[in-house]
A = this chain, B = another copy of it.
Amino acid sequence: MTAGLPMPVPDPDLPRRVRIHEVGARDGLQNEKTVVPTEVKAEFIHRLAAAGLDTVEATSFVHPERVPQLADADELLPLIEDVGVRLPVLVPNERGLDRALALGAREIAVFGSTTESFAKANINRTVDESLTMFEPVVARAKGAGLRVRGYLSMCFGDPWEGPVPIGQVLAVGRRLLDLGCDELSLGDTIGVATPGHVTALLRAFEEAGVPAGRLAVHFHDTYGQALANTLAALRHGVTTVDASAGGLGGCPYAKSATGNLATEDLVWMLDGLGITTGVDLGRLAATSVWMAGHLGRPSPSRTVRAISHQES
C-alpha cells in the first residue's frame, strides 16, 4: 500500500461504524476443495481475530457427509482461544444445536432459503419444513441465552427459478425473525443482485417494520457486483456486512471462480469512506496470503493481490 491511500473522504449519508461478520472460516472454507487441517483453521481464526475482526464465524455443525471440509467442528472449537471475539457457528437442526451447546458456543446461525428449489437442493426440505425444523432450534438457543442469526439465501435470484420476487423474500425473512432470530442476513447466493434491487428489498423490510439494524447483507462477487451492492445497503442504513477473508469460497450452484465478497476489498472501501471497522487491512491481507498458501491457489481478492504484489 502507498502511504496515505486510500485517502479517507467520509460520506455524511453513510454509517460511521460497520461491523464485519467474517465468514471465511465457515462459508469460505466449506466451498474450497482443499481440506484444511484443523490446526490451520484454528490459527486462521486466531489470525482473523488478531487483525481486528470482532465476529468470526467459526464452523458448521451440518452433517459431516454434507460438508466434509467442516467435519472437524467438534475438534476445532476447543482449539480456539477466548480472545474476546464473537464466534458464531452454523447449526442446521437440534442435533447440531446439542453439539454446539456441548462445546460452549454462545452464538449460532440457521440457514434458510427463499426458494423451494434451493431448500430442496440444499437440505432436501420444503421452505415450510425447514422453518418447522428451525423453530425448536431457535427457541432452545434463545432459552439458553444464545444469540441467533438467520441466514436467508437466494434473496435476489435463484439458478433454477430466476428472479425471486421481493414479497417472497420478505415473507420468509419475517418468518425467520418471528421464530426469534436476532439478526437476518440477506444473501445473494449466486451474486446476481444490483444496487437498485438491494435498495428495494431493504425498503420492503423497512416498510414491514423491520429496521435496518436487524439486517445484514451477504453478497457474492460472481458478477463483480458485491461492493456496489454493499454501498447501496450502507446508504440504506445497514451496518452489518458479511465478507470472507481473501474472498475465500464460492457457490457450488454457480460454476464461477469467485465467491464471497472479499473482506479486504470491503475494508479498502470502508477505510476510504472513513468508516470504522477495527480491522488492520495489512494484517488481514497477510492472513489471506498465508491461507492461500495452504489452499494452493492465489486469493481472488483484488485488494489482496494488489497489496501483496506491490509489497513483494
Interface residue ranges, A against B (CB under 8 Å): 2-11, 14, 156-159, 162-163, 190-197, 199-200, 221-225, 227-228, 230-232, 254-258, 262, 265, 268-269, 271-274, 301-303, 305-306, 309-310
Which residue of B156, B193, B272 is within 8 Å of A194 (Cβ)?
Answer: B272
CB distance from A241 to the nearest CB of B (A): 13
18 CB < 8 A contacts A-B:
A2-B159, A4-B157, A5-B192, A6-B223, A11-B196, A11-B199, A196-B273, A223-B306, A224-B227, A224-B303, A227-B227, A228-B228, A254-B306, A255-B309, A256-B305, A256-B310, A257-B309, A258-B302
A9 interface neighbour in B196, B222, B255, Cβ under 8 Å: B196
A230→B227 contact, CB < 8 A = no
Extra 15 A-B pairs, beta carbons < 8 Å, given A7-B163, A9-B199, A224-B303: A2-B192, A7-B192, A8-B196, A9-B200, A11-B195, A11-B196, A11-B199, A194-B271, A195-B272, A195-B273, A225-B269, A228-B230, A254-B310, A255-B309, A256-B309
For A257, what are the chain B residues with a Cβ–Cβ distance below 8 Å? 305, 309
Q: Which of A11, A232, A265 has the largest count of B CB atoms less than 10 A from its CB? A: A11
Contact A268 B162 (CB under 8 A): no
Q: Does B195 lie within 8 Å of A231, measured CB to CB?
A: yes
Contact B302–A222 (Cβ < 8 Å): yes
A162 partner, pick from B5, B195, B199, B225, beta carbons under 8 A = B5
Count of chain copies: 2
A197 lies within 8 A of B272 (CB): yes
- A255 partner residues in chain B, CB cutoff 8 A: 309-310
Contact in complex: A2, B157 (CB < 8 Å): yes
Are A225 and B265 closer than 8 Å at their CB atoms? yes
Does the CB pair A269–B162 fall under 8 Å?
no
- Chain B minimum-CB-distance residue to A231: B228
Q: Is the CB of A224 within 8 A of B268?
A: yes
| Min C-beta distance of A197 to chain B, whole Å | 4
In the complex, the answer to whether A2 meets B194 with C-beta atoms within 8 Å is no
* A255 nearest CB neighbor, chain B only: B309
A190 CA to B305 CA in the complex, in Å?
A: 13
